C-alpha cells in the first residue's frame, strides 16, 4: 500500500472515529481495533487523529502505558476521577492525564468493571464522553501493544 493510500485510509478512519453518529463511530472503532490487533499501527494513528479532532487541539501529549503500580485505593480514585472528568465533559481536555487514570483503573478491573464504568460515563457525560473514553482506552491499549514490540 502506497503512502497516499495509507494516508487516505487513516484519514477516512479518523473521520469515522470523530463522528457523533453511533453506527459510524462503532464501524470506525471496530476497524481501528482490528488494525491494532493485526499489528497495524494505522489503527492507533487514526485513534490519535480522532482524539485531536474531538478535543479541537493539535498539540496533544498521549499517555505512554507502562508498568502501573498502585493499590486498590488508586483504582477507586482513578474511577472517581474518570467519572468526574466525564461529568465535566473533559475526558479529552488532557489525554495524557486521562490515559494515566484509565491505566490505573484497568490495573485492578475486569471486563465487568470496565463495562460498568463505561455505562456510568455515558450516563453522566453523554454519548460524546462515551466515545472519548472508548478512544482513549483503545489508544492506550494499542500503544501498549506496539510498545511491547520494541
- pLDDT tens across 34-83, in order? 999 999 999 999 999 999 999 998 889 999 877 666 677 888 899 999 99
Q: What's residue 5's pLDDT?
A: 38
- Integer Cα distance of 88 and 77 in angstroms: 16
Helix axes 72-87, 127-149, angle to 10 degrees: 130
Q: Are 63 and 98 in contact (CB under 8 A)?
A: yes
> Rounded to 10 degrees, what is the CA torsion of 133, 138, 141, 146?
-140
Cell of 104: 490505573
- Percent of the chain beyond pLDDT 70? 89
| Residue 107 pLDDT grade (very low, low, confident, very high; cuts 50, 70, 90) | confident
What integer is the mean pLDDT of 73-100? 95
Amino acid at each position: 500500500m502506497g503512502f497516499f493510500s495509507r494516508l487516505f485510509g487513516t484519514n477516512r478512519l479518523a473521520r469515522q472515529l470523530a463522528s457523533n453518529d453511533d453506527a459510524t463511530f462503532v464501524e470506525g472503532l471496530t476497524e481501528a481495533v482490528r488494525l491494532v490487533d493485526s499489528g497495524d499501527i494505522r489503527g492507533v494513528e487514526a485513534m490519535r487523529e480522532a482524539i485531536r479532532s474531538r478535543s479541537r487541539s493539535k498539540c496533544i501529549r498521549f499517555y505512554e502505558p507502562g508498568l502501573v503500580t498502585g493499590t486498590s485505593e488508586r483504582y477507586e480514585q482513578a474511577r472517581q476521577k474518570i467519572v468526574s472528568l466525564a461529568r465535566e465533559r473533559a475526558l479529552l481536555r488532557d489525554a495524557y492525564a486521562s490515559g494515566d487514570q484509565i491505566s490505573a483503573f484497568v490495573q485492578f478491573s475486569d471486563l465487568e468493571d470496565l463495562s460498568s464504568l463505561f455505562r456510568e460515563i455515558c450516563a453522566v457525560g453523554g454519548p460524546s464522553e462515551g466515545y472519548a473514553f472508548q478512544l482513549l482506552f483503545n489508544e492506550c491499549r494499542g500503544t501498549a501493544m506496539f510498545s511491547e514490540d520494541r
